[in-house]
């Protein structure tokens, strides 16, 4: 069966209490994986994701932390290994568009905050995961979350967010080259306009409607429609020869 190779494998999904992260965690759990469901403030939502995974036949537990704080991502990974005994997959999903500002009006503090939440945790998590994969004898999978903004520069006032997601895409390719010979695969998923709490908080409804009109599929995507790309990349049976790639999930809005 396709993806039966995921059963029993261990994964940490950061930012998994809502949006794309929650959908991905549920999808991996339904495939039989053991999932660490990370959250920052959404404890009730994270525990619901855990319950849904367990109801689908997977195993899961919730773990809390602010990934913008140095050392948090490493602690979450350590907790996942302590809970399940190993690590097979890391999904660096957590991130944020903190605020929209023109570059000329952007304070240093916002630059530092955007780096702290969108870039440093990806670097730190990947570094820790590679070391763990090596200690386990090689192999392993990392999937990072980029964005269509990494290619387009993003919408108005989102230059730092777009740049941070471009970092994720380029860092993904660079790391993939470093570790490919060890059987460690590193890829990314770049969603387009997706209906999530982050989208609703940062993009006005009229802007979303304008975007809908130019998407070839004429609709905004759902978090669940991103899950297949993650499942594909996590499954050695389906994607054993795929590394250093950024899969675009955007309804045709961008066709690179």
Catalytic residues: 161
CA dist., res. 140 & res. 235, Å (int): 10
Under-70 pLDDT residues of the chain? 1-2
CB 70 within 8 A of CB 8: no
In this prediction, residue 208 carries a pLDDT of: 84
Please report which helix (H) or strand (E) contains residue 116, including its range.
Answer: helix 108-118
Nearest to 10 by CA among 55, 62, 52, 58: 58
CB 9 within 8 A of CB 33: yes
CB 117 within 8 A of CB 67: yes
Q: How many CB atoms lie within 10 A of CB 52?
A: 17
Rg, C-alpha atoms of the chain: 17
In this prediction, residue 1 carries a pLDDT of: 57
Whole-number Cα distances in Å, 8 to 3, 4, 244: 11, 9, 25
Q: What b/e readout covers 16-32, taking b as 16+ CB neighbours within 10 angstroms?
A: bbbbbbbbbbbbbbbbb
First to last CA, the chain: 32
Supply 232's token pair: 């594909």
CB 25 within 8 A of CB 48: no
Nearest to 230 by CA among 1, 17, 22, 58: 22
CA dist., res. 180 & res. 103, Å (int): 37
User: What are the residue ranges spanned by the domains of the chain?
Assistant: 4-249
Q: What b/e readout covers 90-115, taking b as 16+ CB neighbours within 10 angstroms?
A: bbbbbbbbbebeeeeebeeeeeebbb
Locate tokens 């996590």: which residue? 234
| Torsions phi, psi for 246 (to 5 deg) | -120, 110
The CATH number fitting domain 4-249, selected from 3.30.70.2860, 3.90.330.10, 3.40.1350.10, 3.40.50.720:
3.40.50.720
CA dist., res. 178 & res. 256, Å (int): 25
CA dist., res. 235 & res. 126, Å (int): 18
């Amino acid at each position: 069966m396709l993806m039966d190779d995921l059963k029993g494998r261990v994964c940490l999904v950061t930012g998994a209490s809502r949006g794309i992260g929650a959908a991905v965690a549920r999808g991996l759990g339904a495939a039989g994986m053991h999932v660490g469901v990370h959250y920052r403030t959404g404890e009730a939502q994270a525990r619901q994701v855990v319950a849904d995974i367990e109801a689908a036949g997977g195993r899961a537990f919730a773990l809390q932390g602010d990934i913008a704080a140095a050392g948090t991502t490493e602690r979450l990974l350590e907790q996942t290994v302590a809970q399940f005994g190993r690590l097979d997959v890391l999904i660096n999903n957590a991130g944020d568009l903190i605020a929209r500002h023109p570059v000329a009006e952007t304070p240093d503090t916002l630059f530092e905050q955007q780096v702290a939440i969108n870039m440093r945790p990806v670097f730190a998590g990947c570094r820790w995961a590679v070391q763990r994969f090596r200690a386990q004898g090689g192999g392993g999978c990392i999937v990072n979350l980029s964005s269509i903004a990494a290619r387009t520069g993003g919408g108005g006032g989102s230059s730092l967010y777009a740049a941070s997601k471009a970092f994720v895409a380029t860092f993904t390719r660079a790391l993939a080259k470093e570790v490919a010979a060890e059987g460690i695969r590193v890829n990314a998923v770049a969603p387009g306009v997706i209906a999530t709490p982050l989208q609703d908080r940062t993009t006005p409804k009229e802007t979303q409607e304008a975007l809908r009109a130019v998407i070839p599929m004429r609709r905004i995507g759902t978090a669940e429609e991103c899950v297949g790309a993650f499942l594909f990349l996590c499954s050695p049976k389906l994607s054993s020869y795929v590394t250093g790639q950024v899969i675009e999930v955007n309804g045709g809005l961008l066709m690179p």
